[in-house]
Amino acid sequence: MSGIVLVLITGVGLGALYFLVASGLSLIYGLMHVLNFAHGAFLTLGALVGWEVAQRLGTDSWGGFATSILVGALVGAAFATLTELILIRPLYERHIEQVLVTVGLALAAVALFEGIWGTDAVTIAGPTWLRGTTEVIGANIPNVYWVLMICAALVLAAIVLFLRKTRYGMIIRAGVENRAMVTALGIDVRRSFTLVFAIGGAAAGIGGVLAMHYTTFVSAHLGQTLLIFAFIVTVVGGLGSLTGAALASVLVAVLQQFANTYLGGTGDFIVVVLLAVVLLVRPRGLMGRPA
């Protein structure tokens, strides 16, 4: 029983990490129809700069940990904002060019990060409590999973409240439905779309800092590795559906954990099979809109 509890809770925690990575990707596509292959670069830069900040403030301190998350979010948002202003804004409704530009940016960013921080992964150490465990029904759950779940819930709630309760959120949703009408009312929709990119980048930056604590290392390739699972989650949940991304994150991660534990480490293979089944049976994903 304790083994099942351990796998289930750690699966939900891993799903929380996948959601933090996929939420910005899903938000940007859902509201702006931009498939951003450079999203992993936002995550990596947030993690690397967050690590630099934590090194200077003390990796074992909660102050350094919290500050690194805040800095990671700000760095991810800034990088995403510049990407939208310089590269994406001239290419709206030109999807092939968007894909090519973001893929090129992702490759260039990895090379740049390797030039600055090196090619080797750096082991990191966070607050002592994160490396401890909490017992639940006989299962010792690593504390980092609780932090992942709390942060993912807060990010989801913040994005939903922003879109539904704020003026800019309403402008964004209206601009997606009818951009010409909103522009005719004298509202600058482009500024709102830039804000969407910034929010997506901030979520990626938070995910990057937490991902390095989950994996206990940081490298220039951290974002690219997690981006694979973020795309799987986004497709399974339904392109553009934030709720679908949340559900798919938990489904994918729990299935992966159970397969790794009880089916000889075949978690990644099972996840790919799930993706194939969803594409064949329900191409729009679990909660995607009909084409």
Q: Where along the chain do its domains lie? A: 23-220
Measured distance CA(248)–CA(235) in Å, rounded: 9
Q: Give 237 or 58, the one with higher predicted confidence.
A: 237
The residue with greater pLDDT, 238 or 32, is 238
Q: What pLDDT sits at residue 289?
A: 64
Query: Is there a contact between 6 and 185 (Cβ–Cβ < 8 Å)?
Result: no
Query: What confidence tens digit (pLDDT) does each residue in 196-250 have?
Result: 889 989 999 999 999 998 888 888 888 888 888 888 998 888 877 788 888 999 9
For 263, the token pair is 């089916």
C-alpha distances out from residue 218 to 56, 78, 113, Å: 16, 20, 11
Span 172-176, average pLDDT: 66
Neighbours of 121 (CB within 10 A): 16
Q: Answer whether residue 167 shows pLDDT above 90.
A: no
Are residues 12 and 72 in contact, defined by beta-carbon separation less than 8 angstroms? no
Quote the pLDDT of residue 112.
Answer: 92
The CA distance from 155 to 11, in Å, is 19
First to last CA, the chain: 43
Condensed to tens digits (0 to 9), the pLDDT of residues 84-97 reads 988 888 887 777 88
Model pLDDT for residues 117-162, shown as the tens digit of each residue? 888 888 887 788 888 888 887 778 888 899 999 999 999 998 888 8
- pLDDT of 263: 83
Mean pLDDT of the chain: 85
